[in-house]
Structure 1
């Protein structure tokens, strides 16, 4: 009868384990499975370097806050800001950006701003300075909308406005001209007469401005002075 022989061990290698890290250099292993294998025996273990991703993601982290900046205005209320950078370290290889805000703001208050003056509305025109003929009417305004304050500038321009006005034409009394020279005798022989004439002129003016040149005059003959011919008469 043939002698009994023990069957040879069946050798099976397990699948590789996952890499020990998800990025960068790691290792993976597998074991040989058999009836009489010792897993602590180096011959029954295989180890291999692995690298799923060469670089690992690096999440960003905030650096220190910078100093507060100057106020956004030179007077009254404004805003100060300060910043920080996501660079300690900066995000890399798909890492997350720093959480939160990189800018902070706060209110700042300085001296009150100067207020420049502005004109209010014009008043109504005053009554004419003359009851007849050319005169003047005045209107005014006040620098109070608003008033200058805190070193602000005064209103620019005049606070009064003068305009010409005429209520009515003034009455003008007539005036006599000088006597004219003596006219010729009324007859060429015998006894006759001769005369001289003076005229009442009414001066006409147009308001509010006078017509350029001499005043217009309207003659109205109204006086005669006869004299007998042959006598010596002086005007």
Structure 2
């Protein structure tokens, strides 16, 4: 009985089993394709460069692919085989200043100059972007020759210390090297004897002279407007640096300074004026007193410029005598 139902292979006669058969399938060849290698390193270590890669036209046959003639991939868009690259900006060292003056005036010192790392665009960048082995020197030793000491001094003072009679003139004396001041008032490293710092001078015999002496001006006599100031004038006799008060008659031959002068304290502001309070309006009990208040300028003209906040009261309540 045939039912076309699948059963176990043990139920069939193995000797009658047909041999396996193969037949071709999917007979169309696989399409070709472009295959690109990894990009090469950039052609330069800094600045604009180029990277390259290899391109192959390949085609798969079964489980493996094979390089085929590039013509087979001519219908496909070919990938780029080069591209621009820039690992970093190119920078270089630049000396931006001349050497400084030596740090000492004599002997061995140091001098410096500015060195900076600059990009191709001219901007200052971090020094790490420049080759440290190529960096120009920024500091070096300098020799200004041996240090020689000598005495140096100023001119004598223009005036004698006394206005008449004997006095002294002074000057400064220092022991110097080309590098600075040497210590030691007795000479220090200066071998030669120290020059004099003072010498005698004489302005001639002291002759007594008389003169008017004026005190400072007093304060102005008014707080505003035009006023006057006063001062005292006395006759004094001068002998050298000493002064003695003498009678005014000894200065009579000299023009006497003014004892009074005008002073201007600026324009006076208007101010409030009042009359006396009037009599109380009641003879006993609570009454009222009044008075007139006016704003007047310095020339006693009526004005509206007084400060209203400081205006005196015009009325006041009075209660002096109780009504019996």
Length-normalised TM-score, structure 1: 0.36
Greater C-alpha radius of gyration? 1
Q: Which has the higher helix share?
A: 2
